[in-house]
């Protein structure tokens, strides 16, 4: 009997270097439509090509954009996990492998923190302590699957995501759905 090869040797499931998946504009627009943030200084510490920072700027915010590598956008090479910057909000799509470190580093620095996370992020037993230590103000699932691959996989996104938002002093977590609109 021939043995089945269950190893997935395809390149389609390999992760990009530094978890680089630019955030589609509609993801950031959905947050900004829900969350009427007063004009403020926002740090986008995983800016990549500036996809999220550009949308945040459309809403009149003063944006400080940085990334761990020089992407040609923003302030260049800044290791967020060792840096401090004066800001009222930190809004980002963190590298998934570093998401907890990003959360823990962000919360003491800003009044408002918002991060795009996989929809099942809070379902992991190992994150229960993080949730209890820093209960978010909002968990905001998107009602569509954003295409973080920019059409690479035929335009069929397979990952659901949500925004988790922390606002200093607001620890009674609310769950709200964010819909997609094409009118920005």
Which fold would CATH assign to domain 20-175? Rossmann fold (3.40.50)
pLDDT greater than 70 at residue 7: no
What are the residues whose beta carbons fall under 8 Å from the beta carbon of 51, sequence distance 6 or more? Answer: 22, 23, 24, 25, 28
pLDDT at 160 > cutoff 90: yes
Tell the residue number behind the tokens 């922390």, with chain if given.
Answer: 166
The mean per-residue pLDDT over the stretch 108-133 comes to 97
Cβ atoms of residues 47 and 68 within 8 Å: no
**In whole angstroms, what is the distance from residue 150 CA to residue 70 CA?**
21
Average pLDDT over residues 79-100: 95
Q: Report the pLDDT averaged over residues 162-179.
A: 97
**pLDDT of amino acid 182:** 63
Distances in whole angstroms, Cα of residue 94 to Cα of each of 79, 137, 184: 12, 18, 24
Q: What confidence score (pLDDT) does residue 79 get?
A: 92
Is 3 a residue whose pLDDT tops 70? no
Tokens 């988790």, residue located: 164
Query: What band does 73 get if pLDDT is binned at 50, 70 and 90?
Result: confident
Residue 88 has a pLDDT of 98
pTM assigned to the model:
0.86
The CA-atom distances, in angstroms, between 161 and each of 2, 5, 115, 142 are: 40, 31, 10, 6
Whether pLDDT at 165 is above 70? yes
For the cut 50, the answer to whether the pLDDT of residue 10 exceeds it is no
Mean pLDDT to the nearest integer, 63-81: 86
């Amino acid at each position: 009997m021939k043995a089945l090869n269950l190893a997935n040797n395809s390149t389609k499931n390999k992760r990009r270097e530094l978890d680089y998946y630019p955030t589609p504009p509609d993801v950031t627009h959905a947050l900004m439509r829900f969350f009427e943030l007063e004009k403020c200084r926002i740090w986008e510490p995983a800016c990549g090509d500036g996809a999220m920072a550009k949308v945040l700027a459309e809403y009149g915010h003063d944006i400080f954009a940085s990334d761990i590598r020089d992407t040609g956008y923003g302030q260049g090479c800044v290791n967020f996990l060792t840096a401090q910057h004066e800001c009222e909000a930190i809004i980002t799509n963190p590298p998934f492998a570093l998401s907890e470190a990003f959360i823990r580093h962000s919360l003491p620095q800003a009044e408002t923190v918002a991060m795009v996370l996989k929809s099942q992020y809070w379902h992991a037993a190992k994150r229960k302590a993080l949730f209890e230590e820093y209960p978010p103000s909002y968990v905001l699932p998107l009602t569509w699957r954003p295409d973080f691959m920019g059409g690479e996989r035929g335009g069929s996104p397979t990952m659901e995501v949500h925004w988790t938002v922390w606002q200093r002093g607001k620890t009674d977590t609310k769950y709200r759905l964010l819909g997609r609109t094409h009118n920005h």
